[in-house]
Amino acid sequence: MRRIPLGRGTTWVTELSLGAAGLGNLFTAVGDLQAHEALEAAWNCGIRSFDTAPHYGLGLSERRLGEALVGRPRHAFTVSTKVGRVLEPASGEGGDDLANGFAVPATHRRVWDFSAEGVLRSLESSLKRLGLDRVDTVYLHDPDDHARHALAEAYPALERLRAEGVVDAIGIGTNQTPLATRFVRETDIDVVLLAGRYSLVDRTGADELLPEAERRGVSVVVGGVFNSGLLADPRPGATFDYAAAPQALLDHARRLETACAAHGVPLRAAAARFPLRHPAVAAVLLGLRHPDEVLDAALQFTRAIPDGLWEDLAAIGSRASVG
C-alpha cells in the first residue's frame, strides 16, 4: 500500500486508510472480537493509516483502535483523531447514544468546544483512550457552525502543537466545502478530510476546494466515497447521506453500475478509486467494521480499472446532471 505525504507536514497516509467510526458502533453494535479482527485484517492487507474521533461511540472507537495497535512499531503506522467535541460524564439513568448515531451506552455527553483549552483537553483524553503518546494528525471536527471559534482559538492551538512537535499535521474534517475552502485559503493547514463531497455522484468538492488545495499544497483525504451506501449497492432502499436516496439519484447510480459492469468492474471498486484521480487527493478513507469488508476493500482497491471505464463514467456525469 503506497504511503503518501500529507501536505507540507512530516507525516503520511496509506492510499487506502481505515475510518474507524464503524468500530465505535455507528448505527449498529460491533463486538470486540469482530472489531479486533477487522483491524487485524487491515494491518495484514497493508493498511497503515487509521482515523478515529472521540465522537465515534463516545470514545469506543479510540479505545478499540488503541488496543489493536498495542505492540505495533510506532513508526509503521499513522493515526488521526479529532477535536471539537469534549466528552463529559453523563448524569442520569443511562440509556443509549443512538440519537447521535452510535449503539453504545450513553455514559458521556458531547460538548462542543473549539477553545484552545478544549483542544488540549480533547487531545489529552484521546491519547489516554488510544494508549499512545502522540497522534500524527489532528482534525478540527465538523466546525461549520463554530467557524469563529475554530479559526480564532482552535486553529492557533493546533498550530502551536504542530510547531512544538506534538503533532505532525493539522487540518479540518467536514462534509461541507465552504469552511474547508476558507481554511485552505486563510490558514496553514496540511490536510482536509472531506466526507461525501467528492464521489461519483457528488463532485462538489471539485468546484473550489480541490483546486484551491492543489494550488496551496494542501492534501485532501476523501471519506464517504459510497455516500453512505448508494455507491456500494444501488438497490431500492439504498441511502444517500444517511437518508433514502431519491429515485432519480438511484437511477443515476444504476447507470454508473451498468457502465462499470460492461468493463467487468464492480461499482464499489470504481467509487473507491475515483477520488484518487484528482492530484490533490492523497488517500481514500473507507469505514470498515468486518474483516470480510476489509479484504474486499483491499481487493477492489487494487483491481485494474481501464481508462475506457473512466471515460464512460465521465460521460454519464455526476449528481449535478440528475437535477
Active-site annotation, residues? 56
Q: Taking Cα atoms as reference points, which of 32, 25, 31, 35 lies closest to residue 98? A: 25
Phi, psi of 58 (to 5 degrees): 55, 45
With a CB cutoff of 8 Å and minimum separation 6, the contacts of 77 are 48, 49, 50, 69
Q: Is 217 exposed, middle or buried (0-12, 13-18, 19+ CB in 10 A)?
A: exposed
Three-state DSSP at 50 gives strand
Q: Taking Cα atoms as reference points, which of 227, 217, 218 lies closest to residue 195? A: 227
DSSP state of 94: -
Cβ atoms of residues 313 and 252 within 8 Å: no
Pairwise CA distance, residues 192 & 209, whole Å = 9
And the C-alpha cell for 193?
478530510
Pairwise CA distance, residues 35 & 46, whole Å = 17
Identify the bridge partners of residue 222 per DSSP, sorted by sequence position.
194, 284
